[in-house]
Amino acid sequence: DAGVIQSPRHEVTEMGQEVTLRCKPISGHDYLFWYRQTMMRGLELLIYFNNNVPIDDSGMPEDRFSAKMPNASFSTLKIQPSEPRDSAVYFCASSLIGGFGSPQHFGDGTRLSIL
Amino acid sequence: GNSVTQMEGPVTLSEEAFLTINCTYTATGYPSLFWYVQYPGEGLQLLLKATKADDKGSNKGFEATYRKETTSFHLEKGSVQVSDSAVYFCALSDGIQGAQKLVFGQGTRLTINP
């Protein structure tokens, strides 16, 4: 079975540019999560969706960040304009509804570098 | 709010040594507990889980027991291998109202020398 697929794997861009990260969750999963990982702050939950609807975006750092899930098989995380402090590894994860204990399945991440 | 605290790393051991990585949590209610592993350049993978007190999760020789009285979920392995070198994350899921949010510890980097 295909896992969570993220693209691109690596992105290097200049400050001020728009960045779009993409995620395809595992087919049939109800939840989708976006995380950011840095050495300083560890793994942070940015936003998560249930059945394509954003449920909690309290982790989104500021208005420059936005996320959408137009359908069950695709989500994007956009940063506009990008800044050097946004450099991090961004992970997408998905899971099934099922009460306690349902694990999240992670993609391999997008390593983002803002120059 | 809910939180997870892991022992600080990095941890360096020799092959075949015994491993313990401590994890304690603070949570309201009865969370599920997880250990995830992250190999270099990859995303996190579920290693094991436990959903109620006294449950023992196990996988690939790793074990952890859900201890409600001490609010702990320590990861153990009797004989580590070089291939176990990775970053290990303890996490809890509060599962409130069907939500599947995970709260992660800061991660513990493990290096096993041959």
Q: How confident is the model over A60-115, as pLDDT tens digits?
A: 988 999 999 999 999 999 999 999 999 999 999 998 875 566 788 999 999 999 99
Q: Choose, out of B37, B44, B90, the residue to mutate when testing the contact with A (most A CBs < 10 Å).
A: B44
- Give the residues across from B87 on adjacent strands: B38, B109
CB contact under 8 A, B89 and A43: yes
- Residue B46: its chain A contacts at CB < 8 A? 103-105
For residue B51, give both structure tokens. 């959903």
What's the pLDDT score for residue B96?
Answer: 59
Burial of A27 (0-12, 13-18, 19+ CB in 10 A): exposed
Q: Do B102 and A45 contact (CB within 8 A), yes or no?
A: yes
Q: How confident is the model over A6-18, as pLDDT tens digits?
A: 999 999 999 999 9
Of the CA atoms within 13 Å of residue A40, those in its CB half-sphere come to 4
Among B30, B42, B95, beta carbon nearest to A108: B42
Calculate how close chain B gets to A54, using CA atoms only, in Å: 12
Per-residue pLDDT of chain B (114 residues; tens, 9 = 90+): 889 999 888 999 999 999 999 999 998 878 889 999 999 888 999 999 998 899 999 999 999 999 999 999 999 999 999 999 999 999 998 765 555 678 899 999 999 999
CB contact under 8 A, A45 and B102: yes
User: CA nearest A50 in B: which residue?
Assistant: B99
Largest alpha-carbon pair distance within chain A? 42
User: CA nearest B41 in A: which residue?
Assistant: A108
- Residue B107: its chain A contacts at CB < 8 A? 42-43
User: CA nearest A54 in B: which residue?
Assistant: B99
What's the pLDDT score for residue A99?
Answer: 56
What's the pLDDT score for residue A98?
Answer: 58
Where does B10-88 have alpha helices with state H? none
- Give the residues across from B25 on adjacent strands: B4
- Residue B95: its chain A contacts at CB < 8 A? 99-101
Nearest 10 degrees: Cα torsion A26, A114, B111, B106: -70
| Residues from A in contact with B at Cβ < 8 Å | 4, 31, 33, 42-43, 45, 48, 50, 55-56, 91, 93, 95, 97, 99-109
**Any idea what DSSP says for residue B67?**
B
Q: How confident is the model over A21-39, as pLDDT tens digits?
A: 999 999 999 899 999 999 8
Q: In Å, what is the CA distance from A103 to each residue of B17, B79, B90?
A: 29, 26, 13
**Any idea what DSSP says for residue A26?**
P
What's the pLDDT score for residue B30?
Answer: 81
φ, ψ of residue B102 in degrees (nearest 5): -110, 140
